[in-house]
Structure 1
Amino acid sequence: MTSVIDRSIMINKKKVKNRILMPPLVCFNWGNEEGFETVDRAEHYALRAKGGTGLMVVEATAISREGRITDTGIGLWRDEHIPQFERMAHACHQEDSVVIVQLVHAGMKAVGTPVYSSSAVEVENKQCLELSLEHIERIKAEFIEAALRAQKAGLDGVEIHGAHGYLLSQFTSKQVNARNDQYGGSLDNRLRLSLEIVEGVRKATGDDFIICYRFGVNDPTLEEDKYFAKKLEALGVDILNVSAGIGANSKNLVPPEDYPYSFITYMGTEIFKQVDIPVACVFGIKEPKQAEYLLENEMIDMVAVGKGLLADPNWTNKAIKGEGVNICYNCAPWCKYGKDGKTCPWYGK
């Protein structure tokens, strides 16, 4: 009997061989201040592609020096960054995996000074400045230019990071966005920047390039999230990868008592009901039986397996064959794999 995980799915015009997605897990120490890798990402992603994973999302990649999450993260703000992504694309394609890269501006969570956001706010004793309209236009251009570099590198698409409290999340969330111009106030205004970036990337890269949106559950009502998801679909987003946002811990976003997984996973299954494009859910999916439950019950299109794929690069092939997988220990305070790829307790086992 064929595993439900092993069913292919079309994303834009690309056939993804199964329903497992590797989410953009940042290896924070694997780069330098200029956005270049210091540990081979091609090998890192190729191992998971060889292990059967259908869709690879390369970790959060900065669109500018200003927008870096960390000073040792990789970037796509210069043409000189393209070759490292060419190697990743080639390595994953050799294993018949589709591969895209997540593009991010961290906003008030960025390293260095000054930092910018939708509105002026103090963050960890650091003053965050409100973006001017001119600065917003520059950031839109930087997203588009980074997407074009990803396309030139041979990647199949990009994921625009609109979750986890980074810049686009800071615009969509009324908990942070206190602007009184066209980018603040009403829901449509708060969504404007994300939608303009999606529209610009689609126009620049053409119809065949995959656009994924990392969708953060940012606001206190599910109705706003449903509205946003439909707007993204209408603009040509090909897949939604649903995760947490600034307002994700709202008491209004509580799954039913009998729901077996996290509220973040639950929100992915709720967004799945609203759109006709593929939707992926994430968070705490470590065992194949969890992914199978979600897929067999038609609650989602794809399942993102994060730390499980760090603990076991062959997670997907094992899941398809019905074999046991390495179960992530969820090391505290941080994932040990991210240190150097070799400190994980499962490394080499």
Structure 2
Amino acid sequence: MSLINKSIKVNKFMVKNRIIMAPLLCFNWADEDGFEIYDRSVHYGKRARGGTGLIIIEASAISKDARINETELGLWKDEHIPQFNRIAKSCHNEDSLVIVQLVHAGMNGTGTPVLSSSPVKVKGKECFEMSLEEMQKTKKDFVSAALRAKKAGLDGVEIHGAHGYLLNQFTSKEINQRTDMYGGTLENRLRLPLEIVDEIRAAAGDAFIISYRLGVNDPSLQEDNYLARKLEDAGVDILNVSAGIGSNNIIVPDDFPFSKITYMGTELYKKVNIPVACVFGIREPNQAEYLLKHNMIDMVAVGRGQLADPEWTNKAIQGDAVNVCCQCPRLCMYIIDGRNCPWYGKE
């Protein structure tokens, strides 16, 4: 039997297999008020029908000022709930679990003013230090968005702490230069994401999945290990390991056959007792099987592979060939508009 097809427990739920659909943004599929203009229940429903065990809906903003892009899905008001309810139904109809990734972009966002953990200039933009009052609002926004996700019928949320977005800006020694209780020491830099986890758990209850998208190497594997254990202690159910602000400096053993981001996932897998997922460049089933066969990870997140082939998971389990992502030069066409992908309509 394919190891991909082995179930795994996450929180109180049984995920039917080891494949996650990674949260991949599809810009220009929503309007400037956070409402979809392309039916996401079809988009995610296809991947659920294709066998994927756990689907993570793309990054959705916790407030209008928290957006990565002006055409990003929103979950900052109750009017957004129905679009997520449709996604929940389409995935649950196929026996797939589904959660949504919640994000505050921080210095990489469209807010006015642009806020970060500390004053910083990014691409010509001046970013201001988030005040304690603004941080309290941010925590409330994360909790409110999580409760809307629960009301929509989703199985949980993923807190985005990677890719240089706000929470990654707080955990990163490189960016966080604060001198108050949220900066300086490692404990202080981790305080905000851990408080958000605590407050979501208290508000949403025990039977609600909390995933954390952990950005690695900020600034070291040793600190990543510490954060992973603290997240586990705080009630996180699954770690989804991805790129952090310091990920360019990762040193990978010569015999490791995958990316440096995948490598960091396999290292964190050794340090916690909750499921860990790795990601980055895993586009073909034999790669996922290798990681599982060698007991290197619990789950494998496949992103662009599933954009190219909604049936990726079923084909992987059955041993069939998949549509292989074209790895479009410079930029994935789904980021511009999913309908520009060379595989769109040919799946």
**TM-score band, normalised by the shorter chain?**
over 0.9
Shift of 1:151: 0.2
Q: Which residue of 2 is the match for residue 242 of structure 1?
A: 241
Q: Partners of 1:41 and 1:34 in 2: how far apart? A: 16
Q: Give the partner amino acid of 1:323.
A: D
Mean Cα deviation higher: 185-194 or 338-347 = 338-347
Preserved CA contact (<8 Å) 2:173 2:219: no
Preserved CA contact (<8 Å) 1:169 1:218: no
Shift of 1:337: 2.9
Q: Give the partner amino acid of 1:327.
A: V
Shift of 1:112: 4.2
Q: Which residue of 2 is the match for residue 199 of structure 1?
A: 198
Q: Which residue of 2 is the match for residue 343 of structure 1?
A: 340
Q: Partners of 2:127 and 2:219 in 1: how far apart? A: 24
Shift of 1:197: 0.1
Q: Which residue of 2 is the match for residue 282 of structure 1?
A: 279
Q: Partners of 1:11 and 1:23 in 2: how far apart? A: 16
Preserved CA contact (<8 Å) 1:30 1:39: yes
Q: Partners of 1:257 and 1:218 in 2: how far apart? A: 19
Q: Which residue of 2 is the match for residue 142 of structure 1?
A: 141
Q: Which residue of 1 is the match for residue 62 of structure 2?
A: 63
Q: Deviations over 1:171-219 (max 9, x none)?
A: 0001000000000000000000000000000000000000000010041
Q: Partners of 2:333 and 2:182 in 1: how far apart? A: 39
Matches within 5 A, 1:174-253: 174-250=173-249, 253=250
Q: Which residue of 2 is the match for residue 156 of structure 1?
A: 155
Q: Deviations over 1:118-169 (max 9, x none)?
A: 0011111111010110110000000000000000000000000000000000
Q: Partners of 1:341 and 1:257 in 2: how far apart? A: 36
Q: Which residue of 1 is the match for residue 302 of structure 2?
A: 305
- Give aligned pairs, total: 346
Q: Deviations over 1:76-100 (max 9, x none)?
A: 0000000000000000000000000
Q: Which residue of 1 is the match for residue 321 of structure 2?
A: 324
Q: Give the partner amino acid of 2:310.
A: P
Q: Give the partner amino acid of 1:102.
A: Q
Gaps of 5+ in 2: none
Q: Which residue of 2 is the match for residue 22 of structure 1?
A: 21
Preserved CA contact (<8 Å) 1:115 1:129: yes
Which secondary structure does the structure 1 equivalent of 2:236 belong to? coil
Q: Give the partner amino acid of 1:341.
A: G
Shift of 1:333: 2.4
Q: Give the partner amino acid of 1:87.
A: R
Which secondary structure does the structure 2 equivalent of 1:151 belong to? helix
Q: Which residue of 2 is the match for residue 263 of structure 1?
A: 260
Shift of 1:332: 2.3
Which secondary structure does the structure 2 equivalent of 1:295 belong to? helix
Shift of 1:254: 1.0
Q: Give the partner amino acid of 2:324.
A: I
Shift of 1:340: 3.8
Q: Give the partner amino acid of 2:149.
A: A
Gaps of 5+ in 1: none
Shift of 1:39: 0.5
Q: Partners of 1:340 and 1:123 in 2: how far apart? A: 25
* TM-score, scaled to structure 1: 0.98
* TM-score, scaled to structure 2: 0.98
Shift of 1:339: 3.8
